[in-house]
Amino acid sequence: MDGMLSREHTILIVTSIIVGTLARIITIKEDFRQYPSYPNGYLIHLVTGFVAASLGAVAIPALMTKNFVAVTFLTLAIQQFRDVRKSERESLKDLENTEYAYRGDAYIDGIAKTFESRNYFSLIVALATGITYEIVDSSAWINTICSAVVGFIILYILKRFSKGKSIGDIAEVKEAKIEVKNHELYVDGLYVTNLLGTENASKLFLEEGRAVVIYPKKHHFRVTLENFGQRQAALFEATRTLGVKRYHFTRRDFENGRVVIALVPIINDKDKLIEAVKKTPLLESTKKSESVMNSNMVGRE
Amino acid sequence: MGREANTEPKYDLLALVTLDKSRILGGKQLTLLAKDEEEQKTMTADIAKALKADVVKMNSGDYLVIRV
């Protein structure tokens, strides 16, 4: 039996892999809205999650058997997760021309990073599960239960840590009045575009157009909300949720920071439109910390 | 306008339909002279439909067919 895994290590590895893979299954649901092609995409990410969990699971038995060199394969894992980010980014960029509106590079970058970090979830959860199994000195059943519990606690903490905010957290989103004056589109009195040059276009927007205005709750939130990538992400979510018959615009008001999103949707439902915009995630690349910006730098008053 | 009005800042000017002969100055775009306002509207709509483009009515009365 020399060279074979012991029963204890086998249980440790299997438990860690199961808990780590479950961590990926649980977190993949949160990305459903952002998912481009879910049946196959789902499988791809479950398999990479399984691989991540496996790498985390075997690290502890490798250490316990004094196989320290084997732990360097964790660097391989990091490389693999970077490839996950890269492939996700490429896949979403390939889809850009087929969507109603562009996701935009900022949103794609955010989604790709999220997918990468979710694989680290699996790795860390599996690793924590394995460590706990090794530390708890009891029967196999007790060890398994304790390690699984710790694994899920770590998952909960990681989820809380990485949970981002959405537009609804920092802004009010309200339905807005659409007007067309001399073939120019106005939303709540704010000029949006003059692309409605024909009678048909003006009529279509007046009859079927929908618009919402995003009002920042605090002045400094304007920096985030008015970011081009952030507005594009909001527009993308709106068009993705309701579909687009024709036209979609965003416009910002320099005076008071209102942001307009206007479109002619396929599903004409104002509540869904407001909800879609509210639930648009705040992109990591656009976030600004007000407290950091207020801090005094050395040498300054 | 560019990035402000729409998220994709690429614009192609495809056609100009005017009633004023003096405004036909050449360029890459197709420039057409209409007899009257009714013909101008019809021509603009036909071109826009064929090219799947958008129409801008300028304050001068000319129509631009552009693709965003």
Helices (H) and strands (E) counted in chain B, each on its own, are 1, 4
Distance from CA of B55 to the nearest CA of A (A): 5
Q: Are B57 and A235 within 8 A, CB to CB?
A: no
pLDDT averaged over chain B? 84
- Return the ∠ at Cα A181 (arms to A179 and A184), rounded to 5°: 90
pLDDT of residue A289: 65
Contact of B53 with chain A, judged by CB distance below 8 Å, is answered with no
From B1, B4, B55, residue closest to A252, measured CB to CB? B4
Residues B67 and B19 sit within 8 Å (Cβ to Cβ): no
pLDDT of residue A37: 58
Contact of A230 with chain B, judged by CB distance below 8 Å, is answered with no
Cα-to-chain-centroid distance, residue A191? 32
Which residues from chain A sit within 8 angstroms of residue B56, using beta carbons? 183, 194-195, 197
- Sorted by sequence, the CB contacts under 8 Å of residue B22 that are 6+ apart come out as none
Size of interface A-B (CB pairs under 8 A): 54
- Sorted by sequence, the CB contacts under 8 Å of residue A253 that are 6+ apart come out as A190, A259, A260
* Alpha-carbon distance values, A94 to A88, A99, A253, A264, B14 (Å): 10, 10, 32, 25, 27
Contact of A228 with chain B, judged by CB distance below 8 Å, is answered with yes
pLDDT of residue A79: 86
Contact of B1 with chain A, judged by CB distance below 8 Å, is answered with yes
The residue among B57, B59, B60, B66 with the most chain A CBs within 10 A of its CB, best to mutate, is B57
Per-run averaged pLDDT (10 residues), chain A, 301 residues:
74 92 83 58 85 89 81 82 88 87 89 88 92 88 92 92 86 92 90 88 91 92 90 92 91 91 92 92 76 54 47
Q: Are B6 and A249 within 8 A, CB to CB?
A: yes
Contact of B54 with chain A, judged by CB distance below 8 Å, is answered with yes
Residue B43: is its pLDDT beyond 90? yes
Distance from CA of A36 to the nearest CA of B (A): 20
Dist CA A214 CA A217 (whole Å): 9
Pick the closest to residue A231 from A209, A252, A254 (CA basis).
A252
pLDDT of residue A200: 87
Domains of chain A: 7-162 (no CATH), 167-287 (3.30.1360)
Dist CA A242 CA A263 (whole Å): 10
Read off the tokens for A148.
């699984």
Q: Which residue has the tokens 């008015």?
A: A226
pLDDT of residue A288: 66
- Of the pLDDT bands very low, low, confident and very high (cuts 50, 70, 90), residue B5 is very low
Relative to beta strand B12-18, strand B63-67 is antiparallel
Q: What does the DSSP 8-state code read for residue A43?
A: H
Looking at the predicted complex, does its ipTM rise above 0.85?
no
- Of the pLDDT bands very low, low, confident and very high (cuts 50, 70, 90), residue B6 is very low
